[in-house]
Amino acid sequence: MPDAEYDRNNIFARILRNEIPSTRVYEDDEFVAFRDIAPAAPVHLIVIPRGEPPTSPAGLTEADAGMVGRLVLTAVRVAAEQGLSERGYRLVMNCGDHGGQSVAHLHLHVLGGGPLGPVA
- pLDDT tier, 1 (very low <50, low <70, confident <90, very high otherwise): very low
Per-residue pLDDT at 2: 52
Q: What is the pLDDT of residues 55-113, one digit of tens each?
A: 999 999 999 999 999 999 999 999 999 999 999 999 999 999 999 999 999 999 999 99
Which pTM does this prediction carry?
Answer: 0.94
pLDDT score for 119: 84
List the domains of the chain with CATH numbers: 11-112 (3.30.428.10)
- Cβ count near 29 (within 10 Å): 5
Catalytic residues: 107
- For the chain, the straight-line distance linking the first and the last C-alpha, in angstroms and rounded, comes to 22
Q: Please give the sequence-ordered ranges of beta strands (E in DSSP) within 1-120, or none if there are none.
A: 24-27, 31-35, 43-49, 89-92, 108-112
Output the CA torsion 45→25→20→37 (10° steps): 30
CB 95 within 8 A of CB 38: no
Question: Taking a C-beta distance cutoff of 8 angstroms, is the pair 111, 36 a contact?
Answer: no
